[in-house]
């Protein structure tokens, strides 16, 4: 797969899965717009890209805020050109049992994880439609497929991405734009560091792969869906979970 000269936007690019996705695109020749809540966070990923002689630029954006998102894509268009690929990876969790969950924790998780993807897709869709080309990949989660106790807000946001993905695929497909999703399982990131030991062992013993995933396990699926070779795949979800949900 080659992304030579293509502009790729990756949200949530400061660490974990997003950082690995940004690096993977850079290694295939893309010019990567690395987006995080702070420019300093995104700059760390850009530094890693440049250390490998790749091209990237750091941007700060609150993806849940429409004005911030519009400013982001205006800046990317001016700095780098029309994005060919958008990866909606930005996500947070605020886990607690439903009866204890604060309304603001429900709202914030839905705003970042689901509304953020909608706002970014809306912002980039016009330029992609004009170019008659685009690849959109939404990073969801197996929790959106199975649910999880103590994660009703997170599960709802990630399940919502599946519906968003299919709807966008139907709306934009005639303009040469595909929209797909990747659903990672339990991956070794900052978000899973707090997993109780018994839950970690349960995942490892249940998954046929016999281990938790790594960010590098997710990036290849994203790159495939963003490639020219996946041009006839749209509205689909690839689950990357070591067989956990079998």
Q: Is residue 2 part of a domain?
A: no
Of 59, 133, 154, 232, the active-site residue reads 154
Residue 226 CB: number of other CB atoms within 10 A?
Answer: 28
- Domain extent for 18: 7-239
**Domain containing 230 — which CATH number?**
3.40.50.720
Residue 76 burial (CB count, 10 A): 24
Which residues touch 116 (CB under 8 Å, ≥6 apart)?
11, 63, 64, 69, 88, 90
- Cα four-point dihedral sign 201, 203, 209, 212: negative
Within-domain flag for 181: yes
Q: Is 77 exposed, middle or buried (0-12, 13-18, 19+ CB in 10 A)?
A: middle
Cα 78 to the center of its chain, rounded Å: 23
Task: Indicate if 154 belongs to the active site.
Answer: yes
Is 200 inside any structural domain?
A: yes
Residue at 245 is within a domain: no
pTM, two decimals, is 0.96
Distance between CA 59 and CA 119 in Å, rounded?
Answer: 16
SS3 per-residue string spanning 62-127: CCCCHHHHHHHHHHHHHHCCCEEEEEECCCCCCCCCHHHCCHHHHHHHHHHHHHHHHHHHHHHHHH
242 contacts 208 by C-beta, under 8 angstroms: yes
The number of domains in the chain is 1
Whether 244 is in a domain gets the answer no
The answer to whether residue 113 is domain-embedded is yes
* Distance between CA atoms of residues 142 and 239, nearest Å: 7
CA dist., res. 237 & res. 61, Å (int): 26
Residue 230, in any domain of the structure: yes
pLDDT tens for the chain, 246 residues long, are 799 999 999 999 999 999 999 999 999 999 999 999 999 999 999 999 999 999 999 999 999 999 999 999 999 999 999 999 999 999 999 999 999 999 999 999 999 999 999 999 999 999 999 999 999 999 999 999 999 999 999 999 999 999 999 999 999 999 999 999 999 999 988 777 767 778 788 889 999 999 999 999 999 999 999 999 999 999 999 999 999 999
Query: Within a domain: residue 246?
Result: no
């Amino acid at each position: 797969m080659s992304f030579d000269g293509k502009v790729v936007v990756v949200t949530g690019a400061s660490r974990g899965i997003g950082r690995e996705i940004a690096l993977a695109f850079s290694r295939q020749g893309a010019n990567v717009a690395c987006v995080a809540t702070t420019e300093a966070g995104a700059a760390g990923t850009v530094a890693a890209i440049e250390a490998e002689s790749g091209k990237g630029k750091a941007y700060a954006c609150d993806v849940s805020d429409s004005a911030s998102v519009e400013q982001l894509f205006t800046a990317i268009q001016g700095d780098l050109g029309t994005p060919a690929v958008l990866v909606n990876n930005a996500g947070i969790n605020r886990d607690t049992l439903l009866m204890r969950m604060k309304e603001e924790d429900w709202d914030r998780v839905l705003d970042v994880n689901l509304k953020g993807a909608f706002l970014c897709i809306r912002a980039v869709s016009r330029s992609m439609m004009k170019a008659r080309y685009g690849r959109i990949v939404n990073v969801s989660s197996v929790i959106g497929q199975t649910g999880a106790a103590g994660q009703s807000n997170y599960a709802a946001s990630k399940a919502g991405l599946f519906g968003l993905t299919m709807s966008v695929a139907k709306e934009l497909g005639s303009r040469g734009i595909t929209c797909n999703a990747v659903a990672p399982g339990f991956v070794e990131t900052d978000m899973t560091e707090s997993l109780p030991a018994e839950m970690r062992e349960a995942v490892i013993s249940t998954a046929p792969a016999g281990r938790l995933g790594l960010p590098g396990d997710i990036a290849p699926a994203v790159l495939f869906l963003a490639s020219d070779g996946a041009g006839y795949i749209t509205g689909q979800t690839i689950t990357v979970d070591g067989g956990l949900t079998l």
